Structure 1
């Protein structure tokens, strides 16, 4: 059930290799995972609310997966960006 979230060693190694079979610079990327857990209806409504707020596209979320509680499901959103990307930071002060 939750094995879909556990990376396959062969796939994760090949995905982290660049076109020259050199390891991708992990320090250059920041990865943020957002998880929504609850009833199927509640998870879908939360994803739609976040879409309406401009947070993420509906299709960016994983399909609903069984959660630890048998009556609950979960969906995951993974965001990747360059670690030195300052465009998302608010200017102020």
Structure 2
């Protein structure tokens, strides 16, 4: 198993940053591909209970011709 995906306890807390406890964690999930593939992926994730379709950004022009990008941003309190 790749070690880079395991939590690093030394990096997870910032004891000198008093505002860290009140900040929210932000996670951004990006789907990039053809418009059809992006919309199918968003609908699949909805059926799996991951996120509502309306939680995703509207598809925007992607980095390559024929691609679009849609982004989901999740915010949660620090654990």
- Asked if Structure 1 and Structure 2 have the same fold, meaning a TM-score greater than 0.5 normalized by the shorter chain, the answer is yes
Q: 1:32 offset after TM fit, Å?
A: 0.1
Runs of 4+ deviating beyond 3 Å? none
Following superposition of structure 1 onto structure 2, how do residues 2-81 of structure 1 map, counting pairs within 5 Å?
Answer: 25=19, 27=21, 28-81=23-76
CA distance in 2, matches of 1:58, 1:39: 17
Q: Deviations over 1:13-42 (max 9, x none)?
A: xxxxxxxxxxxx455310000000000000
Q: TM-score, normalised by structure 1?
A: 0.61
- Listed as ranges, the gaps of 5+ residues in structure 1 are 1-24, 85-93
CA distance in 2, matches of 1:70, 1:26: 40
Q: Which has the higher contact order (CA 8 A, sep 6+)?
A: 2
Q: TM-score, normalised by structure 2?
A: 0.72
Q: Identify, as 1 or 2, the structure richer in strand.
A: 2
Q: CA RMSD in A?
A: 1.2
